[in-house]
Amino acid sequence: MTEIFSDILGHDHVKTGLLHAARASKLHHALLFIGPSGIGKAMVARAFVQSMFCEKAEPGAFVRCGKCKNCLRISSQNHPDVIEIDEEFLRRAYDGGSIAAIRIEVIRELQKSLTCKPFEGSRRVVIIHDVHKMQEAAANCFLKTLEEPPEDTMFILITSQMQMLIPTIVSRCQVVRFAPFPMEELAAYLVSHGETPDVAEQVAALSDGSIGTALKLCSGDYKDEILELFSYILETSSVMQAFETAGRIRDRLTKESRDIKFGIYNHLLKLLSLYVRDMAVLKSEPSGRIVLRSYRERMMRRLDSTKMKDLTRVAGNIQDIYSAIQGNANELVALERLMISMHGVLF
């Protein structure tokens, strides 16, 4: 038996708030979970729902076993009284059509099923993922359900794009805000999952506080390539080598598909931007808080000979290369220009 959220990392504020409201029976019938993608909103939602249905939990105990029939059916999305509208649901509903939007027929179908009693017990939960994908007609139709909710049905709406929701939906929900993970916490988590501290720090920096993104990067095929190219750039030591490095990066990435190539570039340039940003922080305040802490000493060694305006220029060149690559300009020339501008500044 675990307390509802004890095995979920971070989000202390959210967890305490939800528990507190649940214990005081002040939980709204519609919760709106807001926060960046991949930070665990769905995980918190399912854990919470498990505690409502767990066969081993006393009513009002706010615990879940995670192993009983109900807990397992909820984690595998097979509980008849826990309806999850997600990509898989839409794929089935549209029979292979585009799943870019939640259309009105999905909401009508949902409303029809809510007119029946719950299948097994006395309550039911509806979880709608990416609720911002609701088309306007669908959202207006759904509004009626939120205004006159069926008894014993709880709604958990999840979104990373609150600005895309119609305000009347937001105003009828209890908003629960999820914050991105602090970088250090995320890095520590990755270390506990077997990454070295250096790699964990860089992956955390690339993940914008999203644990999902970080884990995807760690398990993906391109993490090593990105980190290798990054350290290769920093090991460059002369103008001659700068040209070679540019050529090598271009050659390494030519074999990749366009999407993968953009993805690798994106991450690589982001690391470089963070590196330049960290140097600028140290330049103005040597004890300043930086992101790529394992490079602190290396950065400090270069600071005396580096001027702030050089750092600004390199930061600008990194931005230029984004546009060069996307606009199909000569990639090699753009890379060479970037590498040369970094000579004497980063290496």
User: Which stretches of the chain bind Zn ion, using CB under 5 A?
Assistant: 54, 56, 65, 68, 71
Rounded Cα distance between 259 and 7, Å, is 35
Nearer to Zn ion, 75 or 174 (CB): 75
Q: Position of tokens 């598909």?
A: 257
CB of 58 to Zn ion, least distance (A): 12
DSSP code per residue over 240-265:
HHHHHHHHHHHHHHHTS-HHHHHHHH
CB of 52 to Zn ion, least distance (A): 10
CB of 300 to Zn ion, least distance (A): 53
CB of 82 to Zn ion, least distance (A): 13
Rounded Cα distance between 254 and 262, Å, is 11
Nearer to Zn ion, 7 or 235 (CB): 7
Distances (CA, A) of 156 to 126, 128, 176, 310: 6, 6, 10, 50
Q: Position of tokens 């690559």?
A: 325
Nearer to Zn ion, 65 or 104 (CB): 65
CB of 283 to Zn ion, least distance (A): 55
Rounded Cα distance between 169 and 143, Å, is 6
Rounded Cα distance between 4 and 22, Å, is 11
CB of 72 to Zn ion, least distance (A): 8
Nearer to Zn ion, 77 or 111 (CB): 77
Nearer to Zn ion, 71 or 134 (CB): 71
Nearer to Zn ion, 8 or 215 (CB): 8
CB of 69 to Zn ion, least distance (A): 8
CB of 68 to Zn ion, least distance (A): 3
Provide φ and ψ at 181, rounded to 5°: -70, 140
Rounded Cα distance between 196 and 328, Å, is 36
Nearer to Zn ion, 77 or 273 (CB): 77
Rounded Cα distance between 178 and 161, Å, is 12
Q: Are 153 and 145 in contact (CB under 8 A)?
A: no
List the one residue out of 93, 161, 86, 80 whose CA is nearest residue 121.
80
Distances (CA, A) of 91 to 2, 45, 98, 106: 34, 22, 8, 11
Tokens of 67: 């192993």
Nearer to Zn ion, 73 or 216 (CB): 73
